[in-house]
Amino acid sequence: MTTLNEYLESMGCETDLCTLIELIAEQAQPIREAFITHQAYAESENVYGERQAAMDTWSDELITRVLGESGLVRALSSEEQDEVRIFPGAKAEYAVVMDPMDGSSLIQTNLAVGTIVGIFGGGDVLQPGRDLKAALYMLYGPMTTLTLTVGKGVCIFAMDHGGIYRLLERDVRIPDGNLYGTGGGRPDWIDQHAAFITTVEADGAKLRYTGSYVADFHQILKYGGIYCYPALKGKPKGKLRLLYEAIPIGFIAAQAGGAITDGHIDLLDLKPAEPHQRTPIYVGSMNMISLVKETFERSG
């Protein structure tokens, strides 16, 4: 079976980009091992005032150190760090954006969590998602999988017992489908979102939501449907972040024939104003994205 290395070479990726992707993907192994030993909550809070799980901090420090030492990354913006990190000595000009441990509050319940990464060229982290060179996520579930795009379609790898990623599926396409997952409490949803959910439920859509974005998106990628984290009354930007959560996953969705929107615009066209900017998110199959847009237009 094709390895990650063979796949990247066959895609004609720049050598430095191949090395960077492989380096990031390799961190899944130490992260998996660390789940056993880092279960307790750390005392620190991140920039949003949220309690940081020990694994958030640990995986953030691990990947930051590895990328800093690689000499390939000029700038790094992490959901877990207040400031953008600059590595002035880098020989390559990649800019990495990441959520090192998405869904970390679920680690203690042993549900699947993941690491989300986007890679830009040009050394600047504040770029529209459409300009990504690559996007990937590692999902720590029953298997460790790597879902990757280098802008030429999406493929999924699984890590074998020796730590080698082997291709499970190439040219992944999001089918039209009827799964939906939504964050926020029903009383807090804005009217357009409530109208959308009423419509999909009336159409027989099935609710699937764990509270781990990366895991919830992965089943949408495989089976079709939509993941939503809407604008809430009193929180018009919702909860998730444009740079770390919307942009890399949206790029993967688009490469698989789906799309991402905030209900009004395609989020891949939006240039982030600042690294920690939040946005409402609707990401998934084209049938659902069309319905979101129609509903938002109608209920205005």
The answer to whether 277 contacts ligand AFP (rule: CB under 6 A) is: no
CB of residue 15 to ligand AFP, shortest distance in Å: 33
Task: Out of 100, 129, 177, 183, point to the residue binding ligand AFP (CB under 6 A).
Answer: 183
The answer to whether 59 contacts ligand AFP (rule: CB under 6 A) is: no
The answer to whether 217 contacts ligand AFP (rule: CB under 6 A) is: no
Asked if 74 and 93 count as a contact pair (C-beta separation under 8 A), the reply is yes
Report 11-50 residues binding ligand AFP (CB under 6 A).
50
| DSSP output for 95-120 | EEEEEEEETGGGGGGT--EEEEEEEE
C-beta closer to ligand AFP: residue 4 or 200: 200
Give the x-and-dash track for 236-255 against ligand AFP (CB under 6 A): ---xx---------------
Q: Which two tokens stand for residue 299?
A: 């209920």
C-beta closer to ligand AFP: residue 22 or 188: 188
The answer to whether 211 contacts ligand AFP (rule: CB under 6 A) is: yes
Nearest of 34, 232, 42, 243 to residue 127 by alpha carbon: 243
C-beta closer to ligand AFP: residue 7 or 217: 217
* Angular region, 103: left φ>0, alpha ψ -120 to 50, beta rest: left
CB of residue 143 to ligand AFP, shortest distance in Å: 19
The answer to whether 212 contacts ligand AFP (rule: CB under 6 A) is: yes
C-beta closer to ligand AFP: residue 7 or 229: 229
Cα gap 213→116, rounded to integer Å: 10
Q: Angle 90-271-151 (CA atoms, 0-180°, nearest 5)?
A: 65
Specify which residues 184 forms β-bridges with. none
Size of the site for ligand AFP (CB under 6 A): 12
Helical segments of 139-285, H only: 191-202, 213-223, 247-255
Asked if 215 and 139 count as a contact pair (C-beta separation under 8 A), the reply is yes
Instruction: Find all residues with CB under 8 Å of 100, minimum gap 6, and list them.
Output: 56, 59, 60, 62, 63, 78, 79, 80, 115
Report 93-112 residues binding ligand AFP (CB under 6 A).
102-105
C-beta closer to ligand AFP: residue 127 or 212: 212
Asked if 179 and 226 count as a contact pair (C-beta separation under 8 A), the reply is yes
Query: Look-up: residue for tokens 């009217």?
Result: 191
Strand 94-102 vs strand 73-78: parallel, antiparallel, or unpaired? parallel
From 18-26, 83-91, 206-214, 282-290, give the range in contact with ligand AFP by CB under 6 A.
206-214
Backbone angles phi, psi at 58, to 5 degrees: -65, -50
C-beta closer to ligand AFP: residue 137 or 229: 229
CB of residue 222 to ligand AFP, shortest distance in Å: 17
The answer to whether 175 contacts ligand AFP (rule: CB under 6 A) is: no
C-beta closer to ligand AFP: residue 15 or 44: 44
Where does this chain bind ligand AFP (CB under 6 A)? 50, 102-105, 183, 211-213, 229, 239-240
